[in-house]
Structure 1
């Protein structure tokens, strides 16, 4: 984002200011990588949801098997214990292993690449693209349109 209509560069806070020499295309590319990382973070949250949901279901299946034993339905209880309780969700993996493999592999690699792109294109600054969008969209002087929290004092 270049100078505004008045010839001045918008007053983006220093944390998110475009570094000297960074082009629009570089800032946009860094923003796209950042957006991709946000989707990965959302997916990671869902993976942790899966981990906890399956773990809770496993405990409930164990509880149901105990209840079935108590009412004389040992055959059904045994099927639950042997066919569902403690079974791998994926080949050779419980959900904790899926979470760890994801975190140690893809997620860690993506985070490092996000950081490398930011370091190279925006001097390590995060959300430069979004900060410039905010600056271009806000109505200066209006409550709720402050550039930073400090501006609202």
Structure 2
């Protein structure tokens, strides 16, 4: 058996269109990874600020009040970018670049291949798998 209908190109769709949509999908995957790193940045920055606060309190308890005051005044709770904490960076990315990328990728698939995803990869799988061999089935149902 071959791929299901949701992974078969519609009639009349040429190779270049499938390849173009494959590249756009690959680019979206890179954006998804970048978004994950941005969330990691958000989490690590928040953790750093909270841990810094603990360290500053310990400096204060150890009698290093002037140094603790400087850390607290200049660094604890500071914006990571002008006017922004990391949650604001994440929100701006999600609502702007990321949302637009996802919308345009989906719109292109809807317009050109009836919304079908991963056609390039599905065709690559068909070309590379050994038909009839265990572990090389086209779909889980095979």
TM-score band w.r.t. shorter chain: over 0.9
CA distance, structure 1, for counterparts of residue 11 and residue 2 of structure 2: 14
Shift, 1:141, TM fit: 1.0
2:70 maps to which of 59, 79, 83: 79
Structure 1 unmatched runs, 5+: 1-9
Q: Deviations over 1:27-47 (max 9, x none)?
A: 111111100000000000000
Aligned CA RMSD, in angstroms, stands at 1.0
State yes or no: 1:66 paired with 2:79: no
Q: For residue 93 of structure 2, what is the aligned residue in structure 1?
A: 102
- Larger deviation, residues 39-48 vs 73-82: 73-82
Q: Deviations over 1:41-75 (max 9, x none)?
A: 00000000000000000001100011001110111
Structure 2 unmatched runs, 5+: none
Contact 1:30 1:122 in 2 (8 A): no
After superposing on structure 2, the runs of 4+ consecutive aligned residues of structure 1 that deviate more than 3 Å are none
TM-score (norm 1): 0.90
- Larger deviation, residues 96-105 vs 78-87: 78-87
State yes or no: 1:45 paired with 2:28: no
State how many pairs are aligned: 142
